[in-house]
A and B are shown apart, each in its own frame.
Chain A
Amino acid sequence: MPVITLTVDGELVSARHGQSLLEVLRDLGADLPTLCQCPGLSVQGGCRLCLVEISGTNKLLPACTTEAAEGMAVTTGSERLQEYRRMVVELLLAERNHTCAVCVSNGNCELQALAANLGVDHVRFSYQYPVMSMDLSHERFGLDHNRCVLCLRCQRVCDEVEGAHTWDVMARGGMSRVITDMRRPWGESSTCTGCGKCVQICPTGALFDKGMSVSEMEKERGFLERILAGRSRHQSKGQGHGRSRKGNGDE
């Protein structure tokens, strides 16, 4: 595999041709904030937390969707980038209703942790206080739009890993919502297998197991890696041919 050389924060590093900048940075152990990206899922490029500066262009580019190239000079942690990242998190917090103190994910939430790590100790934008509903029609899981950041990890894991494609997103801008089965109640979904992958992959308190109270919802962060590792073992033994498009109970 051809090797390329680029500069990251002034240091020369080598990478494999075809790697994204984020993969290169992760290999280096760099601590770049991300939210929509999730190893094992397709890239979304939606949250803009992984923005980096690349010399020769004034545009900030998301590391997760940008391919590393020979000779690239990348800056990952400038004050300008940190300021934009803080703004992204503040906008996310202002856009919906995030009341951490009474949230199922309090203490175990990626958005909450991002805010703290980036130094967001208050939000400079006006909170929008949108009127948002919950969908509690599913037997085992709940959806709370108040806490959704529209990262679409649920949509991708359900489509790409479980093969059910229950989730989609409707409308635009502030009206956007994740929906199940063309906007029918989740509990009436004919596609959902009840595998729970979307709940585990959701970075916030938007998807949770029913019966969870404040701070009780802890997600199993490594589950996707485990499933995907199991699959590749399976396939290399010549047992599984391709990926099943229907739920196959590998959880």
Chain B
Amino acid sequence: MDAVGREMAMSKKIRLATAWLAGCSGCHMSLLDLHEELIGLFDAVELVFSPLADVKEFPAEVDITLVEGAVANLDNLELAEIIRSNSRLVISFGDCAVTGNVTSLRNQIPVEDLLSAVYREGAASLPGSGDAEGIVPKLLPRVLPLHQVVKVDAYLPGCPPSPQRISAAINALLAGELPKLPPDMRTFG
């Protein structure tokens, strides 16, 4: 890993964050599928925020943030904005962030009808009402791809992106370049 070597020589670790908005966590699972490559990666980066690390607040001065998931509710929206203002590079990580994907399948249905079908007419109580007030974030009228909410610097499509795609993208980023994946590594789906 050339880029990693170079960064190590510079002896300043890249501050990497990964975030999980409205997605299934499959993209993070695929990240873990980098296996032993992760060891080399952590020589070059410091993981400053991630669902895989126990950090509560999104920190300042992050170099690169990989964002899994679409923007579906007020919490996602708030975190997306914090991520953007605190990160030098924001990468849409996987199809939900890039296109809305499966998360956006609900967009044909008005939110109130959706909540009625799932909760009011179902067994559970309605998020954001009664006991759940203030605990479950309010849904946005429509699920949005990340780049329709904040500026995004690069896109890593795939559901989930394969470890090969993730590796190629991360290596480019560590080398100080925006990833430019070949056609067979940038398909949706």
Contact = CB atoms under 8 A, between A and B. Distances in A.
**A and B held together in a complex:** yes
Interface stretch (B3-11, B91-99, B118-126): B91-99
Contact of A121 (B105, B148, B157): B157
B186 A103 contact: no
A107 B156 CA distance: 17
A30 interface: no
A126 B147 CA distance: 11
A93 B101 CA distance: 12
A174 B119 CA distance: 33
A175 interface: no
Contact of A116 (B101, B107, B142, B186): B186
Contacts of A131: 108
Given A101-B159, A116-B183, A116-B184, A106 B98 contact: no
B149 to A, nearest CB: 12
B189 A122 contact: no
Interface of B: 92, 95, 98-102, 104-105, 107-108, 142, 145, 147-148, 152, 155-157, 159, 181, 183-184, 186-189
Contacts of B147: 122
Given A99-B101, A100-B159, A126 B148 contact: yes
Contact of B187 (A98, A112, A122): A112
Contacts of A223: none
Contacts of B156: 121
A114 to B, nearest CB: 10
Contacts of A126: 148
B186 A119 contact: yes
Contacts of A93: 99
A123 interface: yes
Contacts of B104: 99, 127, 129
B99 A116 contact: no
B101 A101 contact: yes
A216 to B, nearest CB: 13
A107 B157 CA distance: 13
A57 B146 CA distance: 40
Nearest to B179: A121
A113 interface: yes
25 contacts: A93-B99, A97-B105, A98-B188, A99-B104, A100-B188, A101-B188, A101-B189, A102-B102, A102-B105, A107-B189, A112-B187, A113-B187, A115-B187, A116-B183, A116-B188, A121-B98, A121-B155, A121-B157, A121-B186, A122-B152, A122-B155, A122-B157, A123-B99, A127-B99, A127-B145
